[in-house]
Structure 1
Amino acid sequence: MEIFEARAGDREAVIALWREAELTRPWNDPVADFDLALANSTSTVLIARDGSDAAGTIMVGFDGHRGWVYYLAIAEARRRRGIARLLMQRAEGWLAALGCPKTQLMVRGENAAALGFYAALGYEVQDVFTLGRRLDDR
């Protein structure tokens, strides 16, 4: 299993994995998310590749205060083989190399499987509310 930073030519394969894993939402443009992650030095998309196939992907970024993880997706046929754990380790290493002291992520409340996975990695539910506001619809 090879893990590397995505390039523009990986966009279709990455977004296909995000869609397969049902991570995309109509109000978020995955193409814009991918392109913006690659356009900034403090964010990237990592791809786990087994041969020529993209087996998994994760988007990671550092906002100067903490790291954030998004779009952890594993191809359905490749799940339960440790790829997600490996991608998380690489994402945390990528953030640590930037001097990031803390990593956070958001999980939808109904996603019990993801909550269990992250708990097994040592992530804890924190007493924090996430608030949001769209800026692109003004």
Structure 2
Amino acid sequence: MIATRTATVADRDAVVAIWEACGLTRPWNDPGADFLRALGHDASTVILAERDTRIIGTAMTGFDGHRGWIYYLGVTPDQQGQGIARQLLDTSCEWLRLRGCPKVELMLRDGNPAAGLYEHVGWKPQDVRVFARWLAGEDGHN
């Protein structure tokens, strides 16, 4: 049985380990800091999937007042293909719906093999381009 819950600060290392195992981290982002920032705001959280007491999946979820966003969706490689990602997406969407969010989006890096998963569970590609600008220095750090 898979249970979902929101993360606590004590879950940080286990969550970051999943992000790393799933290839979701990048050298210019500090995943531990990303995790703590998500928990530090009322408009964001990290949803966890657990089997027994083992954390096996994550979805960073936030609402900016206009759209909901999901980042760092990952399921441990040994648990993939069992519907856990879909459950995390559904739980994240419900968290957002309870906050009045009308639409949720997620971003995938080009080449991410999970694109087929999202289309399989009913998500549609959007015609948008994402632009970025660092506010804390060129590498994202102060």
User: How far apart are 1:121 and its partner, in Å?
Assistant: 2.0
Letter in 2 for 1:27: W
Deviation at 1:108, TM superposition (A): 1.3
Q: Which moved more, 1:89-98 or 1:114-123?
A: 114-123
Alignment-derived partner of residue 59 in structure 2: 58
Q: Which runs of 5+ in 2 are unaligned?
A: none
The aligned runs of 1:60-99 (5 Å cut-off) are 60-99=61-100
Deviation of 1:124 (Å): 1.4
Taking the aligned partners of 1:70 and 1:13, their CA distance within structure 2 comes to: 16
Which amino acid is the alignment partner of residue 14 of structure 2?
A
What is the aligned partner in structure 2 of residue 126 from structure 1? Answer: 126
Higher helix share: 1
TM-score normalised according to structure 1 size: 0.96
Q: TM-score, normalised by structure 2?
A: 0.94
Which whole-Å CA distance do the structure 2 matches of 1:5 and 1:125 have between them? 27
The equivalent of 1:137 in structure 2 is: 137
Q: Percent sequence identity over matched residues?
A: 45
Give the gaps of 5 or more residues in structure 1. none
Distance in 2 separating the partners of 1:122 and 1:78: 21
Amino acid paired to 1:68: W
Equivalence for 1:41:
42
Residue of structure 1 in register with 2:16 after alignment: 15
Offset of residue 127 of structure 1: 1.3
SS at match of 2:49: strand
Query: What is the root-mean-square deviation in Å for CA atoms of aligned residues?
Result: 0.9
Rounded Cα–Cα distance in structure 1 between residues aligned with 2:104 and 2:65: 11
